[in-house]
Amino acid sequence: MLLKTDPELIKEVQSGNKDAFNEIIRRYEPLISSIVSRYLSDEFFSQSDRDDLSQEAAIALYNAVMSYDILQSEVSFGLYAKICLSNSLNSALRRRKRQLEADRVQLTEESGYLDDDKASDAGLLLERVDGLLSDFEKSVFRLFIRGYSHRFIAETLGRTEKSVDNAIYRIRSKISSKLL
């Protein structure tokens, strides 16, 4: 029995052949393991996250197979798959970091990181501006009044620093025009 080439397998997968995808997974298992192992060394992932990351990589590989154009010849499937896997796991890492930071912020709020006077002032201010601000502006405001940097807020909320800067400008404008 002759082994099928990647383009032949990809065409079969794109036509709905699940067995062909299983063969792709088998062929690219070393690539998946290598990339997943690289991310597991990051401080935000524990060894117990291996299954989740492997599953994320398998989904990324499937998406790569489904979106790969077998008629083009500029980029091999192996390179394309490697890029797709890396991008997918980078996104997973960013989501994980944002979630951990959001959890940390919530724990900080719940543990009374702000002293009682500041917490009550911040709570009163939040109540007064609640109707004025968009959901994004509220999120920015909550982090901003706790003293977090624009960069930290941007990373936590998955936005650019410029969008955070603009939100802070809008928040200040709304507060000064409506409340002061």
Instruction: Note the pLDDT of residue 114.
Output: 47
In angstroms, the CA 56 to CA 63 distance is: 11
- CB contact at 8 A, 168 and 150: yes
Give, in order, the Cα–Cα distances in Å from 156 to each of 67, 108, 151, 162, 174. Answer: 30, 14, 9, 14, 23
What value does the mean pLDDT take over residues 109-117?
50
Residue 144 pLDDT grade (very low, low, confident, very high; cuts 50, 70, 90): confident
167 or 46, greater pLDDT: 167
Instruction: Note the pLDDT of residue 125.
Output: 67
Instruction: Note the pLDDT of residue 66.
Output: 95
Delimit the domains of the chain by residue range: 6-96, 114-178
CATH of 6-96, one of 1.20.1250.20, 1.10.1740.10, 3.40.640.10, 3.40.50.2300: 1.10.1740.10
- CB contact at 8 A, 131 and 141: no
What value does the mean pLDDT take over residues 121-129?
66
Instruction: Note the pLDDT of residue 17.
Output: 93
pTM listed for this prediction: 0.55
47 is written with which tokens? 């060894």
Report the percent of the chain where pLDDT is more than 70. Answer: 77
pLDDT > 80? residue 154: yes
Instruction: Note the pLDDT of residue 111.
Output: 46
114-178: CATH topology is Arc Repressor Mutant, subunit A (1.10.10)
